[in-house]
Amino acid sequence: MSTEVESAQKAPTPEVLAEVEREHEEELVTAGDNLEALNRMRSQFFGPKGRITSLLRSVGQLPAEQRREAGARTNQLKQTLEAKLVVRINALESVEKEKELRRSRLDLTLPGRLAHPRGALHPVNRVIEEMVDILTRMGFELATGPEVELDWYNFEALNFPKDHPARDMQDTFFIASPDGKGTLEHVLRTHTSPVQTRELERRGAPLRIIAPGRVYRCDSDATHSPMFHQIEGLWVDEGVSMAHLKGVLTSFINALFGERGVRFRPSFFPFVEPGVEVDVGCVFCGGTGCRVCKHTGWMEILGAGMVHPKVLENCKVDPERYTGFAFGLGIDRVAMQRWGIDDLAHLFRSDVRFLSQL
């Protein structure tokens, strides 16, 4: 402050101006790249009470004949010095701005605020993936077949003779023939077993395949849907026996449900002999008996059996040389058990509110 008062009293003689210029030069060096110091300098020299401002003001006190020259000198100096300072300040400010911009640059890789919620696999597909995973590790190959199937592969080759009562177990959707003659050669496949006959015929033995997919039956209630999912398994080779069937299915069921016990019961399917139904210890009560397992402690989960020699014959595979076993399992029921779903239809309504709870 004292300098300002002092300089207010000093007249802007060339010596005084030279002095101010030198000081300005020195302070500029001291301030360096310190923007704050530079701004402080700006008001010290050029602010309302600044040194140069005061010098300009003191011009008025000079004798009239000196004023013009002193005023011009002082103004000249003011312009030069202030320009130097401002150039420096502007340069530093733009560097700062640049830094700031770089710091707050838009990151376009960040997810947007209105991003759609991430989707997930349908529970049925999750179960399929898990089953395929277990079975391919056991050496089974993935196979597929058409959903609109020939009666031959779906029934006839599987040893369901025409008009045989075993066909009544599967209420079928028949497809009108394109020629309009009313022949019922095409059906929506009622199970995945036609993949057995198709692949056996096409590729012959030895063969070890699994085939998950959609199947159709004219049936609809809380536990039946006209469309549902099955996975088929088939292993044909020399010397394949019932022991292989039990070993593979026990490992598969244990991997899928955990070790809860497996039970084999005799059953009938026209394309196997002998045929079995396979149960797993109830996943709800653990075997002690509850409403879900109808107090038996067991839940039926799949059909299986040794491939009937007639089926091998129908597919041009020598039944004297080859034997095999097959199994078929409903996928939707496993998904229902896993997530405690009480109505099969929930799985097929595509309601995100339901699916996102799983």
Among 16, 240, 282, 304, binds ligand PHE (CB under 6 A): 304
Reply yes or no: is the peptide bond before residue 111 cis, omega within 30 of 0. Answer: no
Q: Does 327 bind ligand PHE (CB under 6 A)?
A: yes
Q: Does 140 bind ligand PHE (CB under 6 A)?
A: no
Q: Does 326 bind ligand PHE (CB under 6 A)?
A: yes
Partner residues linked to 174 by β-bridges: 187
- Binding range to ligand PHE, per CB under 6 A, among 127-135, 145-153, 198-206, 326-334: 326-334
Q: Between 262 and 304, whose beta carbon lies closer to ligand PHE?
A: 304
Q: Between 216 and 327, whose beta carbon lies closer to ligand PHE?
A: 327
Q: Does 210 bind ligand PHE (CB under 6 A)?
A: no
Q: Between 252 and 269, whose beta carbon lies closer to ligand PHE?
A: 269
Q: Does 270 bind ligand PHE (CB under 6 A)?
A: no
With vertex at residue 296, the alpha carbon angle to CA 292 and CA 297, rounded to the nearest 5 degrees, is 75
With vertex at residue 214, the alpha carbon angle to CA 291 and CA 150, rounded to the nearest 5 degrees, is 125
- Binding range to ligand PHE, per CB under 6 A, among 35-43, 130-138, 280-288, 298-306: 298-306
Residue nearest to ligand PHE (CB): 328
User: By 3-state DSSP, what share of the chain in percent is helix, strand and coil, each rounded to 5?
Assistant: 45, 20, 35
Q: Residue 116 has what DSSP assignment?
A: P
Q: Between 297 and 305, whose beta carbon lies closer to ligand PHE?
A: 305
Q: Are 305 and 329 in contact (CB under 8 A)?
A: no
Q: Does 240 bind ligand PHE (CB under 6 A)?
A: no
Between strands 227-237 and 262-267, the pairing is unpaired
Among 269, 278, 335, 337, binds ligand PHE (CB under 6 A): 269
Q: Does 212 bind ligand PHE (CB under 6 A)?
A: no
CA distances from 269 to 161, 215, 303 (A): 12, 17, 8
- Dihedrals phi, psi of 273, to nearest 5 degrees: -160, 115
HSE-CB at 354 with a 13 A cutoff on CA atoms is 16
- Number of shown-chain residues binding ligand PHE (CB under 6 A): 10
Q: Between 194 and 297, whose beta carbon lies closer to ligand PHE?
A: 194
Q: Does 252 bind ligand PHE (CB under 6 A)?
A: no
- Residue 261 neighbours by CB under 8 Å, 6+ apart: 280, 281, 287
Q: Which two tokens stand for residue 330?
A: 């409903």
Q: Between 304 and 341, whose beta carbon lies closer to ligand PHE?
A: 304
Q: Between 281 and 305, whose beta carbon lies closer to ligand PHE?
A: 305
* Contacting residues toward ligand PHE, per CB under 6 A: 191, 193, 269, 272, 303-305, 326-328
